[in-house]
Structure 1
């Protein structure tokens, strides 16, 4: 059996005086899995992602990612772990408009101390694989939404992360571009990349994941190997 990439044990998180955003959540995701996290707005999806990424800390319980207790890391150590071991893809791409496509992709490697030549070769390889190498010298604003998301995926994969987190990756795309991104994520998983996708998009979940976590009111209500309904 493959080793866990994500292990959450009895994790709870509450903000202010309201109900818990997450309550007693335990979850294991093993290397090579592709998991979608579904649920209505306010169900705890974003909180779960932020805890896995080390962007937030639980009030109780433990969060281990790629063998590291991220809930015990300080901000600087959490940022390094995120940079080195977790790739993140967002709804609105988060590309830097004043950098070229190639420079956006290279940036995580530069921050990690990778040599310039090695980083350039890695970026070129990723852009070719993802079909956007012809845009390497362009600025993100000249690209379509689907192309920008491919560049964002290339950037997320730059440091060969153990885990790829995608937060509503098709939310800002038209249906054709969304299908394209779904196929891309499925291909990455077929090559062994562990992926967790937080989404409202049932079609995306069906196209690129084989396991579904359903959150309602901060708790896991279903954990299935087949995608059912997003509602």
Structure 2
């Protein structure tokens, strides 16, 4: 049996006096899985992502990622954890417009202390694999949305993270570019990358993930694997 990359155990998180954003959620994602998290606005998807990324802490329960108890980390340790364990892709790319494509890609490696030559080789490899090597010295503002998202994927993979988190990765793209990014995520998973995609886009979920979790009002209401197992009984 494959080792869990993500383990959430009885996790709850609330804000102010409203209902909890997450309410007693337990979840396991194993190495090599591609999981989509679906749900309406306010369902708890972003809170779940932030807890796994170490950007927020639960009120109760535990969050473990690749053997690290994320919920117990301080600010500095959380930053080191994200550099080592997490690659993140965002809806609006979050690229630095005053840096070239290759400089954006190598930035996580520089922050992690990777040797300059190794970082350059890794960046060149990623840009080639993702089909954007010809744009290495261009600035992000000169690229299409789909190309910018490929740069963001390269940056997210730079430090070879065990977990790739994608937050609405096609939300700012046209249909064709969105399908392209969905195929890219599917190809990465086929090569063994563990992926969690938070999205409203059911077509994206179907194209690049093999397990779908639905959140409603902070609770998991459906899990595609669990449903399939129940149907088989």
Answer whether TM exceeds 0.5 for this pair: yes
User: Number of residue pairs matched?
Assistant: 227
Between 78-87 and 184-193, the greater mean CA deviation after superposition: 78-87
Residue in 1 that maps onto 2:135: 135
Distance of 2:134 and 2:27 partners within structure 1: 40
- 1:8 and 2:4 correspond: no
Cα distance in 2, alignment partners of residues 135 and 84 from structure 1: 26
Deviates more, 1:217-226 or 1:102-111: 217-226
1:217 aligns with 217
Instruction: Please show how residues 104-183 of structure 1 align to structure 2 within 5 Å.
Output: 104-183=104-183
SS in 2 for 1:196: strand
- Counterpart in the other structure of 2:185: 185
Query: Aligned residue for 1:70?
Result: 70
Instruction: Return the alpha-carbon distance in structure 2 between the equivalents of residues 19 and 191 of structure 1.
Output: 40
Alpha-carbon distance between aligned partners in 1 of 2:121 and 2:102, rounded to the nearest angstrom: 10
Please list, as runs of the form range in 1=range in 2, the aligned pairs for 1:32-71 lying within 5 A after superposition.
32-71=32-71
Q: For 1:131 and 1:204, how far apart are their aligned partners in 2?
A: 21
Whole-Å Cα distance in 1 between the matches of residues 9 and 49 of structure 2?
A: 15
Q: What per-residue deviation string (whole Å, max 9, x for no partner) do you get for residues 211-230 of structure 1?
A: 00100000000011399xxx
Partner residue in 1 for 2:31: 31
CA contact (8 A) 1:211 1:226 kept: no
Deviation at 1:84, TM superposition (A): 1.0
Q: Name structure 1 gaps, 5 residues minimum.
A: none
Question: Where does structure 2 lack aligned partners over 5 or more consecutive residues?
Answer: 228-233
Give 3-state SS (helix, strand or coil) of 1:225's partner: helix
State whether residues 212 and 226 of structure 1, in contact with CA within 8 Å, keep that contact through their aligned partners in structure 2.
Answer: no
Distance 1:226 1:172, change over 3 A: farther
Indicate conservation of the 8 Å contact 1:11/1:23, yes or no: yes
The 8 Å contact of residues 34 and 210 in structure 1, kept in 2 or not, is answered as: yes
Distance, in Å, in 2 between the alignment partners of 1:129 and 1:85 is 21
SS at 2:213's partner residue?
A: strand
Question: Which contiguous aligned blocks of 4+ residues in structure 1 show a shift greater than 2 angstroms?
Answer: none
Check conservation: 1:44, 1:215, Cα contact below 8 A: yes
In structure 1, the residue matched to 2:88 is: 88
CA-to-partner distance for each residue in 1:175-206, whole Å, 9 max, x for gaps?
Answer: 00000000000000000000000000111000
